[in-house]
Structure 1
Amino acid sequence: MEKVKPKKHLGQHFLTDLSIAERIAQAVKGHGGVSKVLEIGPGMGVLTDFLLKGNLNLYLIDIDKESIAYLHQKYPQLEDKIIDGDFLKFDFSTIFPEPYAIAGNFPYNISSQIFFKVLEDKDRVTEVVCMLQKEVAQRIASPKGNKDYGILSVLLQAWYDIEYLFSVPPGVFNPPPKVNSGVIRLTRNQTQKLDCDEKLFKQVVKAGFGNRRKTLRNSLKSFQLTEEFKSNPILDKRAEQLDVAEFVFLTQQIEKGRGAH
């Protein structure tokens, strides 16, 4: 089989270190009793080989036609479980009506978009184990009060427990990326519903981080706040100082302000 050439426009960096691939595969715990796992961007199947050893019901999705042809040759037993498509545009409800997990070495240029898609499907995605650019991995796993902490940290931590597992140097990829990589695991938490309007919650989080140096009193000016809430000391804080529960509280107060008008 001809090797697949990594394509720059797809952000492909193929992992060549088998021990790292094995560690990533072993980090998939099957949280919530799921057996179905979707691997995003398998390339030439370095991670796939180890995921298959875990007796998982494995599906693969890749946007690269050359990879798809290679994977069909390498894994004839997977047949229709190899999906030729774009993860960001694909509707998984037909293939995965029940809960499933996601694994992969995510293309760095779309990793944030992948997580926003995961959030859309949070009621079925029980676990994500992935490798991505180290600073993005650290941001997602970061606790409040940290300069890395941001919009994606809050939105994902509302629904998932997040662990930063280990770092990976550039030299174990072909071609080597210009940055270090990090592996994280997201495990779906017990939250079924936020105690506030979820759409408004997202808007409040995004506005809060819109200008990180400003206090929330300034960055949330466009929202309606009740007069009594305007003196609350939480508004003297900056967005990075608030955890998920505090953002939920903020959103509730804005809802009250809207109701009062």
Structure 2
Amino acid sequence: MNGHRPRKRFGQHFLTSRTVIQALVEAIAPRADDPMVEIGPGLGALTRALLPHLRALHVVELDRDLISGLETLAAQGPAQLLIHQGDALRFDFADLARQLGRPLRVVGNLPYNISTPLIFHLLEAGPQIADMHFMLQKEVVDRLAAAPGGKDYGRLSVMVQAYCQVAPLFHVPPGAFNPPPKVDSAVVRLLPLTQPLVPPERRAGFARLVAAAFAQRRKTLANTLKGLLDPEAIRACGVDPGARAETLAVADFVRLAAALHNRGA
């Protein structure tokens, strides 16, 4: 397992820093009975650090070449390590939560090339996710946590903040990984809201509206939302149709999506 060569196509950068691993475990604060799932355990560095705190740990790993090493780790005990070989983007997290009878705690050093779609996939599991702790590219964490008006604020900020509290935790330098990535990383905590700002029946319309609003950042809402909402409808939501998407709060998008839903769109 230690002889495994990181694969570019899987976006593999294996976490090796004991200091960072310990800080991540402290942030997660695992408890023995937690229904914990690790995405992309890789060579098992974080896995080994989590296992002493848990009775059982589920891991989802795509790379078949890493499974035998994880199976060796599973045989060592004392905690139960349950290995799911497959693509986390297609894994049914909600179904696993139902099997375990409780919402999942999800952790992982996520491959940079799938981090955003994977977060969206997890958001679809809704109340079946208790919390998420991820190592991500720092610029992605900056975008997740961004406030209106800044350059980092965009579609990802709005889509995630409508469903989660976002808390950046700490910075991680490239040297904490093998091979070192060309960018800085950061750890973030995503805590799903007890009551998401967007109800299930409006999710699709909300996603469509936010994507359209940010598709051309320099254009006004009157232009970007043409075909979805006219200027009068935008103004009726308390939003200036002459404004740009990056200036709107998440709550503004929620009201616009409600108007879209009421029109049957």
**What TM-score, normalized by structure 2, do the two folds share?**
0.88
Partner of 2:74: 75
Alignment counterpart, residue 150 of structure 1, candidates 150, 154, 165 = 154
Shift of 1:190: 2.2
1:1-150 to structure 2, matched below 5 A, reads: 2-29=2-29, 35-55=34-54, 57-76=56-75, 77=77, 81-97=82-98, 98-150=102-154
CA shift for structure 1 position 115: 0.7
CA distance in 1, matches of 2:246, 2:30: 32
What letter matches 1:4 in structure 2? Answer: H
Contact 1:216 1:236 in 2 (8 A): yes
**Alpha-carbon distance change, 34 to 134 in structure 1, aligned in 2, over 3 angstroms:** farther
Give the 5 Å matches for 1:193-212: 194=198, 197-212=202-217
Q: How has the CA–CA distance of structure 1 residues 216 and 63 changed in structure 2, closer, same or farther, with 3 Å as cutoff?
A: same
1:242 partner amino acid? L
Where does structure 1 lack aligned partners over 5 or more consecutive residues? Answer: none
Contact 1:226 1:254 in 2 (8 A): no
Decide whether aligned partners of structure 1 residues 249 and 192 sit closer, same or farther in structure 2, where only a CA change above 3 A counts.
closer
SS at match of 2:107: strand
* Equivalent position SS for 1:58: strand
| Residue pair 1:102, 1:125 contacting (<8 A) in 2 also | yes
Q: Is 1:216 matched up with 2:221?
A: yes
Q: Which runs of 5+ in 2 are unaligned?
A: none
Q: Deviations over 1:173-211 (max 9, x none)?
A: 111111111110001122156267221111111111111
1:250 alignment partner, one of 245, 251, 256 = 256
- C-alpha change, 1:194 and 1:60, in structure 2 (3 Å) is same
- The answer to whether the 8 Å contact 1:216/1:238 transfers is yes
Q: 1:235 to 1:52 in 2, by over 3 A?
A: same
Q: TM-score, normalised on structure 1?
A: 0.90
**Greater Cα shift, 93-102 or 165-174:** 93-102
Q: Which residue of 2 aligns with 1:238?
A: 244
Secondary structure class of the residue paired with 2:28: coil
1:255 and 1:130 map into 2 onto residues whose CA distance is: 33
Cα RMSD, aligned residues only: 2.4
CA distance in 1, matches of 2:233, 2:43: 59
- What amino acid is aligned across from residue 12 of structure 1 in structure 2? Q
Note the C-alpha offset of 1:23: 1.1
**Equivalent position amino acid for 1:28 in 2:** I
